[in-house]
Amino acid sequence: MLEMLQYIDFVCKKHNIRYWLCSGTLLGAVRHGGFIPWDDDVDIEMLREDYKRLVRILKKDIDSRYALQTHSTDANYLYPYAKLRDLHSTLKEGHSMDESYRYHGIFIDIFVMEPSSSLILCKCSGQIYQKMLYALSRHIKNERVRKLYSKTVYSLLNYVLFPIIHFFSDWKSNGQLRHALGGLFLKPRMLKEIFPLTSIQFENVYFPIPHDSDSYLRRIYGNYMQLPDLDKINTHTIEIEIY
């Protein structure tokens, strides 16, 4: 995962694409100086315009060790954000959605951040996405029918409904950001806390982070320096094979 993050960092710096460590990866950097000992993925965020550029670049030219996973590269992948997948490993998550994916390797989540003025609109879009795509598509056994259904609904939501919702959500957002519509991560971020970016040492390598990471992390986790109850920790992954 560290090698994958270094690769993303190299590509982003080469093409002047802004990104930052986020969520548990940023928390690990601040609290542990690297990975949280029980963490099993890497999270980064970027603005929509930077995300589009990165996806275009990786679709055209990507290291042979990796694959970019989006709905356009994997018809059964329905999340509204991308993953960079390692091609020399297999990872099984704790849900059944990944069984039909084209790519199964260790991954980095590449989240899209957009202006968001309304928690309600963000929450409703996530529920719509969850019920119409994730929940219903899993019950369609015929692969051809499932792909047709998923592609149709994905297009209607992402190219028709969500642009309308985004128009209203963008209005009076006042520098508030949330993950792209369709996701279930609802905690806001603030532009003024993110930019200008600074850097932090993560596993002896420096990566970009929000310049006010304290406010960023408190907004998501509250007292983030307090360790959770280790007996109640649930990880995403139930099996990993590296070859």
Domains, in order of start, for the chain? 2-115+182-242 (3.30.460), 119-170 (no CATH)
Structure confidence by residue, pLDDT tens digits, 224-236 = 999 988 887 877 7
| φ, ψ for residue 27, nearest 5 deg | -60, -45
Q: Kindly compute the dihedral angle of the four CA atoms of residues 41, 77, 6, 234, in this order, to the nearest 10 degrees.
A: 0
* Centroid of chain to Cα 29: 17
User: What is the full per-residue pLDDT of the chain (243 aa) written as tens digits?
Assistant: 999 999 999 999 999 999 999 999 999 999 999 999 888 889 999 999 999 999 999 999 999 999 999 999 998 898 999 999 999 999 888 666 777 889 999 999 999 999 999 899 999 999 999 888 877 777 787 888 888 888 899 999 999 999 999 888 888 899 999 999 998 889 999 999 999 999 999 999 999 999 999 999 999 999 999 998 888 787 777 788 998
Confirm if 143 and 209 have CB atoms less than 8 A apart. Answer: no
Q: Which residues contact 154 (CB under 8 A, 6 or more apart)?
A: 71, 78, 133
pLDDT, position 96: 65
Structure tokens at 119: 């928690």
Q: Which residues contact 200 (CB under 8 A, 6 or more apart)?
A: 21, 29, 30, 206, 207, 209, 213
Is the pTM for the entire model greater than 0.95? no
Structure confidence by residue, pLDDT tens digits, 69-92 = 999 999 889 899 999 999 999 988
